């Protein structure tokens, strides 16, 4: 494209895809690369957008599977609106029939989902250049050139075969599949290069799936009804799809959905459990403060408190897996975390296991919760130790790194910033492929009953994912295991919230605090803690009741301490409504579980005060005093 032509950022692109997430992803990629995309989830919506544009779209990306009309019909009507629009088919269910129909409707290209961003952008660049040429040279391209484009870019292997089964032409994907050049393929029989295919038996029926020792394929022979001097009438087109990667992706998708479902269940359980633990831990701490150290009952109360602490740690692991915890992140050095754990790790793994630590230099910082990162390293070390019952070697290494190609394709922002890698490798018993597929599931363990909770690696997975990272696992039976974890390099810094000692005396105050909590026991506990510290306390069961109370209360409400997840009206909409009438009121959120991303972002950037359940009475009173003493925060909007 010459400098005199309009720059790419002015190119209008219409995207029509019924998957909202796919639509957002594509439009974001196009916008970041200088295009001006507009999108629709239906064929009618896409056509209305195209008709309303001041200038017809230079390029249209059209999915074939739309809820209201056939994608090819959308292509035809787009060309009716403007012959200058270059249409690129984007489909996850390709076929020779749709490819030929797309060719007949003068589509520019034919891409198969999933498509790499680089491939998509390269196609759009070519389509954009062609759009400019078409505006100056309308009607210069002939139908056979359009077929060549589709034929060349379809990811399925296409073979054009005569009535004797001899290959007369093939596309680039066919040469990749067979490992032979186009010249080598021409004039040989199809079943000579792919013995799995019987050209005599295949009579144009539905595609047949076959699995050989080398690959899994799907074969669909069709008679090509085309007027061309290159081919004799009635030649057959064989489309052959290598299903190996597709089946692998299907397995990964099923695993991902299962993990998400388990994570959602774990998070829901943790929400109710943390309310109970808050009550147990708080009343235990109150009793410990009232019982003399010589009283024999004190040890009983201490055992209750210790058990609650252990249960809280278990709940924390569930939340880490489900990625519903609020993490307090700050800029940290991965090298510093590993170095600080070295002595503990040596005691943890025992004398019969050699520990080798290799720290990269220089290293980027990462934005992470240091306590959670320590938990990742400790859990991996314990898992490695258990895999080497007769001793071995544990190696922990750090370095700056790039995401591996497999992980890079899953992240639209993979190339935006560098990454920091943590590698943990052992010489233990390794894992079979079946075990590897389940290793990050909560409660899955290969250890004897009573020897493990099955939450160690599930916790690692959850913390890494919530930190924006990726996990890569390599293992072979009796060949050891290596996990590589990639954290995004630091982009923005945040401050962590200081921890509060459970034994610290509770600070006092005389302000008015509104407690909004649907759990009756926890609501009563919070009221008792604050009233005993001098505060005036108002109580509400949910957001609706809290708003009604505020509307009728004439005095000042200095602070609202609200649960995040409640029936009728939760914490976030309550605060937004309350800000309209009581802008001076400060806010403290409390929760043991939240899937409110907006609220979590507010906690991370310091705009939202938050206390994580379960907490003790002293911790709650201290946090209330801290929020009251701070300048009013900006809120969570």
Q: What digits encode the pLDDT tens for the residues 401-414?
A: 888 766 655 544 44
What pLDDT shows up at residue 179? 85
Q: Please write the tens of the pLDDT for every residue from 424-440.
A: 999 998 888 878 777 77
What pLDDT shows up at residue 492? 45
Q: Residue 397's closest CA among 486, 343, 341, 335?
A: 335
Cβ 538 vs Cβ 513: under 8 Å: yes
Cβ 632 vs Cβ 567: under 8 Å: no
Cβ 158 vs Cβ 96: under 8 Å: yes
What pLDDT shows up at residue 514? 96
CA atoms of 37 and 5, how far apart (whole Å) = 19
Q: Please write the tens of the pLDDT for every residue from 615-624.
A: 888 889 999 9
Coil/strand/helix, residue 206: coil
What's the rounded mean pLDDT across residues 563-567? 84
Q: Please write the tens of the pLDDT for every residue from 330-355.
A: 788 899 889 888 888 888 888 899 99
What pLDDT shows up at residue 106? 81
**Predicted confidence band of residue 16 (pLDDT cuts 50, 70, 90):** very high
What pLDDT shows up at residue 43? 92
What pLDDT shows up at residue 501? 45
What pLDDT shows up at residue 55? 78
Whether 233 shows a pLDDT value over 70: the answer reads no
Whether 491 shows a pLDDT value over 70: the answer reads no
**Predicted confidence band of residue 252 (pLDDT cuts 50, 70, 90):** low
What pLDDT shows up at residue 451? 52
CA atoms of 63 and 15, how far apart (whole Å) = 8
Length of the chain: 637
CA atoms of 486 and 420, how far apart (whole Å) = 6
**Predicted confidence band of residue 444 (pLDDT cuts 50, 70, 90):** low
**Predicted confidence band of residue 260 (pLDDT cuts 50, 70, 90):** low
Pairwise pLDDT comparison (206 vs 578), residue with the higher score:
578
**Predicted confidence band of residue 512 (pLDDT cuts 50, 70, 90):** very high
b/e for 424-458, b at 16 or more Cβ within 10 A?
Answer: bbbbbbbbeeeeebbbbbbebbeeeeeebeebbbb
What's the rounded mean pLDDT across residues 103-126? 87
Name the pairing type of β-strands 86-91 and 59-62: parallel
Q: What is the DSSP letter of 442?
A: T
What pLDDT shows up at residue 415? 42
Pairwise pLDDT comparison (557 vs 218), residue with the higher score:
557
Whether 98 shows a pLDDT value over 60: the answer reads yes
- What are residue 549's phi and psi, to 5 degrees? -65, -45
CA atoms of 594 and 565, how far apart (whole Å) = 7
- What are residue 99's phi and psi, to 5 degrees? -65, -45
Whether 393 shows a pLDDT value over 90: the answer reads yes
Pairwise pLDDT comparison (356 vs 371), residue with the higher score:
356
CA atoms of 486 and 471, how far apart (whole Å) = 7
Cβ 204 vs Cβ 184: under 8 Å: no
DSSP 611-631: EESS--HHHHHHHHHHHHHSP
Provide the 10 A C-beta neighbour count for residue 342.
11
Pairwise pLDDT comparison (496 vs 50), residue with the higher score:
50
CA atoms of 488 and 469, how far apart (whole Å) = 6
Name the pairing type of β-strands 419-426 and 392-401: antiparallel
Q: What is the dihedral of CA 75, 79, 84, 87, to 10 degrees?
A: 10
Whether 126 shows a pLDDT value over 50: the answer reads yes
Listed ranges 212-226, 400-414, 451-465, 565-579; the one with the highest mean pLDDT: 565-579
CA atoms of 232 and 53, how far apart (whole Å) = 44
What pLDDT shows up at residue 394? 94
Name the pairing type of β-strands 559-563 and 330-332: unpaired
Q: Is the pTM of this model over 0.75?
A: no
CA atoms of 551 and 553, how far apart (whole Å) = 6
CA atoms of 359 and 362, how far apart (whole Å) = 9
CA atoms of 74 and 48, how far apart (whole Å) = 11
What's the rounded mean pLDDT across residues 258-270? 64
What pLDDT shows up at residue 261? 67
The contacts of residue 553 (CB under 8 Å, 6+ apart) are 538
**Predicted confidence band of residue 49 (pLDDT cuts 50, 70, 90):** very high
What pLDDT shows up at residue 547? 94
Whether 388 shows a pLDDT value over 70: the answer reads yes
Q: Residue 328's closest CA among 579, 526, 600?
A: 600
Provide the 10 A C-beta neighbour count for residue 251.
11
What pLDDT shows up at residue 39? 93
Cβ 194 vs Cβ 240: under 8 Å: yes
Rounded percentage of the chain residues whose pLDDT exceeds 90: 21
Q: Please write the tens of the pLDDT for every residue from 284-305.
A: 888 887 888 788 888 888 888 8
Quote the Cα angle for 115-120-122, to 5°. Answer: 140
Provide the 10 A C-beta neighbour count for residue 598.
11
CA 484 vs. chain centroid, Å, equals 18
Rounded percentage of the chain residues whose pLDDT exceeds 70: 73
Domains in the chain (CATH in brackets) are: 8-153 (3.40.50.2300), 157-242 (3.30.450.20), 249-313 (1.10.287.130), 330-488 (3.30.565.10), 512-629 (3.40.50.2300)
Q: Please write the tens of the pLDDT for every residue from 162-187.
A: 878 888 888 888 888 888 888 889 87
Whether 553 shows a pLDDT value over 90: the answer reads yes
Q: Where are the beta strands (DSSP E) in 349-462?
A: 353-358, 366-368, 392-401, 419-426
What pLDDT shows up at residue 208? 46
The contacts of residue 15 (CB under 8 Å, 6+ apart) are 23, 26, 27, 30, 37, 38, 39, 40, 60, 61
What's the rounded mean pLDDT across residues 363-379? 84
- The residue assigned the tokens 């029939």 is 97
């Amino acid at each position: 494209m010459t400098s005199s032509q309009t720059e790419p950022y002015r190119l209008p692109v219409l995207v029509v895809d019924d998957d909202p997430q796919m639509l957002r992803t594509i439009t974001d990629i196009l916008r970041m690369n200088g295009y001006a995309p507009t999108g629709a989830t239906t064929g009618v919506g896409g056509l209305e957008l195209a008709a309303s544009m001041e200038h017809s779209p230079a390029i249209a990306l059209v999915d074939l599977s739309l809820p209201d009309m056939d994608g090819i019909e959308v292509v035809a009507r787009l060309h009716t609106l403007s012959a200058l629009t270059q249409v690129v088919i984007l489909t996850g269910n390709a076929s020779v029939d749709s490819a030929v129909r797309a060719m007949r409707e003068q589509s520019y290209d034919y891409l198969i989902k999933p498509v790499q961003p680089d491939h998509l952008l390269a196609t759009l660049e070519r389509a954009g250049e062609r759009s400019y040429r078409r505006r100056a040279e309308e009607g210069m391209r002939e139908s056979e050139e359009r077929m060549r484009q589709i034929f060349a870019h379809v990811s399925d292997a296409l073979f054009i075969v005569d009535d004797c089964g001899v290959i007369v032409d093939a596309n680039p994907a066919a040469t990749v599949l067979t490992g032979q050049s186009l010249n080598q393929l021409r004039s040989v029989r199809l079943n000579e290069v792919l013995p799995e295919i019987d050209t005599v038996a295949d009579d144009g029926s539905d595609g047949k799936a076959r699995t050989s020792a080398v690959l899994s394929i799907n074969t669909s022979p069709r008679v090509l009804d085309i007027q061309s001097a290159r081919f004799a009438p009635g030649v057959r087109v064989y489309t052959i799809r290598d299903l190996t990667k597709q089946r692998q992706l299907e397995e990964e998708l099923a695993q991902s959905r299962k993990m998400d479902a388990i994570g959602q269940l774990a998070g829901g359980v943790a929400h109710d459990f943390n309310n109970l633990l808050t009550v147990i831990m708080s009343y235990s701490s109150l009793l410990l403060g009232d019982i003399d150290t010589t009283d024999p009952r004190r040890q009983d109360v201490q055992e209750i408190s210790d058990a609650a602490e252990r249960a809280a740690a278990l709940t924390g692991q569930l939340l880490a897996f489900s990625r519903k915890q609020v993490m307090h992140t700050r800029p940290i050095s991965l090298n510093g975390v590993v170095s600080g754990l070295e002595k503990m790790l040596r005691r943890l793994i025992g004398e019969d296991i050699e520990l080798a630590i290799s720290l990269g230099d220089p290293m980027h910082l990462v934005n992470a919760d240091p306590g959670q990162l320590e938990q990742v390293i400790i859990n991996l070390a314990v898992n490695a130790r258990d895999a080497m019952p007769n001793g071995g070697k544990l190696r922990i290494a750090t370095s700056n790194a790039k995401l591996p190609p497999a992980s890079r394709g899953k992240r639209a922002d993979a190339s935006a910033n560098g990454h920091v890698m943590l590698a943990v490798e052992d010489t233990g018993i390794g894992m079979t492929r079946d075990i590897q597929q389940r290793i990050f599931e909560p409660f899955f363990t290969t250890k004897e009953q009573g020897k493990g909770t099955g939450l160690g690696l599930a916790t690692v997975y959850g913390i890494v994912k919530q930190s924006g990272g990726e996990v890569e696992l390599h293992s072979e039976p009796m060949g050891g295991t290596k996990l590589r974890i990639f954290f995004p390099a630091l982009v923005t810094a945040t401050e962590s919230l200081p921890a509060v000692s459970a034994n610290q005396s509770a600070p006092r105050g005389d302000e008015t605090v509104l407690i909004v909590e649907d759990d009756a026991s926890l609501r009563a506990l919070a009221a008792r803690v604050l009233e005993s510290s001098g505060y005036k306390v108002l109580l509400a069961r949910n957001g609706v009741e809290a708003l009604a109370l505020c509307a009728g209360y004439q005095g000042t409400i200095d602070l609202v301490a609200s649960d995040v997840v409640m029936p009728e009206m939760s914490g976030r909409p309550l605060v937004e409504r309350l800000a309209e009438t009581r802008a001076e009121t400060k806010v403290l959120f409390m929760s043991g579980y939240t899937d409110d991303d907006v609220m979590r972002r507010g906690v991370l950037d310091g705009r939202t005060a938050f206390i994580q359940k379960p907490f003790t009475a002293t911790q709650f009173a201290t946090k209330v005093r801290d929020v009251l003493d701070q300048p009013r925060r900006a809120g969570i909007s």
